[in-house]
């Protein structure tokens, strides 16, 4: 098996959404109460998934999201569990596997933090690494034994375009997402001979609660995603299309694809991008510090 880090061709992957790949499949989605996770869940149901099992740490938001999807489509099971809770995730996966195969896992949950590195405590670093990296580890380990016993499956871990780009004053988040890419690419080789696929999803700006979630997990709805961010359903369209195309690394948004291309073909342009965004983050960190 040759090593291909993602795919070299950078293009709009499209929103065809017509293939039978997801029909009848049983899918588990973490971080599913809003944003990318919710969008994936809705598109899977629209595409004929047999069951979609959803979880998120906030019971009220997860309940509301699940009830909305069940009213529209049915076939939804859910629980409130934090991705940092390895035992809770394992039980949720065990309950799902007791009733049938786990065909797809979408490990999607995370937080962000903009802060000067010298002002960031170890506890604050851990508060980002725990959900963003170890939350993915926990979800993957919750399903991998079941997928081995059933003879296969597909694990999709959500990273970020900042998993392959630097960004000052965002070091904890960037480090966590680089770790997710490294983990996923390594597991892709480890389990390839045992019929378990691994892909990593690298979005740019997508409308979600991550933009307004503070370090304590509280959501501030007045804080909006950047102008031009994809909607949750638009991002899900690109993700499912990337799965259909057999991509190892699924780049979501034109910005993510352009940045990938620039890093490899025009590194000086990528350098200017990193400098510009570092300055933007510095200003944001100063405003937060002085507020």
* 164 a catalytic residue: no
Catalytic residue among 173, 189, 191, 277: 173
Using the Cα atoms of residue 55, residue 158, residue 278 and residue 253 in order, give the sign of their dihedral. Answer: negative
How many C-beta neighbours within 10 Å does residue 222 have? 6
Closest CA to 198 of 207, 210, 186: 186
How many C-beta neighbours within 10 Å does residue 119 have? 10
Distance, CA of 275 to CA of 19 (rounded, Å) = 41
Check if the beta carbon of residue 191 is closer than 8 Å to that of residue 141. no
Closest CA to 8 of 271, 263, 261: 261
Distance, CA of 180 to CA of 184 (rounded, Å) = 6
Q: What is the largest CA-CA distance in the chain?
A: 55
List, by residue number, the catalytic residues. Answer: 173
């Amino acid at each position: 098996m040759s090593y291909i880090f993602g795919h070299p061709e950078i293009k709009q992957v499209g929103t065809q959404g017509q293939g039978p790949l997801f029909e009848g499949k049983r899918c588990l989605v973490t971080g599913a109460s809003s944003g990318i996770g919710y969008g994936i869940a809705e598109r899977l149901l629209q595409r004929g998934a047999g069951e979609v099992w959803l979880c998120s740490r906030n019971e009220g938001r997860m309940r509301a999201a699940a009830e909305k999807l069940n009213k529209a489509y049915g076939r939804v099971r859910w629980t409130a569990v934090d991705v940092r809770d390895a035992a809770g995730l394992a039980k949720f996966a065990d309950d799902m596997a007791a009733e049938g195969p786990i065909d797809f896992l979408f490990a999607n949950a995370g937080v962000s933090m903009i802060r000067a590195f010298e002002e960031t405590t170890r506890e604050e670093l851990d508060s980002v690494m725990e959900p963003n990296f170890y939350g993915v580890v926990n979800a993957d380990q919750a399903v991998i034994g079941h997928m081995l016993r059933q003879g296969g499956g597909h694990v999709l871990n959500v990273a970020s375009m900042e998993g392959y780009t630097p960004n000052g004053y965002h070091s904890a988040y960037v480090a966590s997402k680089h770790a997710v890419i490294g983990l996923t690419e390594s597991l892709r080789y480890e389990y390839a001979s045992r019929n378990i696929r691994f892909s990593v999803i690298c979005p740019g700006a997508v409308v979600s609660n991550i933009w307004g979630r503070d370090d304590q997990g509280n959501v501030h709805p007045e804080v909006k995603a950047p102008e031009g961010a994809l909607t949750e359903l638009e991002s899900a369209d690109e993700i499912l299309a990337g799965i259909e195309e057999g991509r190892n690394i699924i780049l979501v948004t034109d910005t993510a694809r352009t940045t990938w291309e620039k890093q490899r073909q025009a590194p000086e342009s990528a350098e200017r991008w990193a400098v510009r965004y570092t300055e933007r983050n510095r200003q944001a960190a100063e405003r937060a510090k002085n507020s």
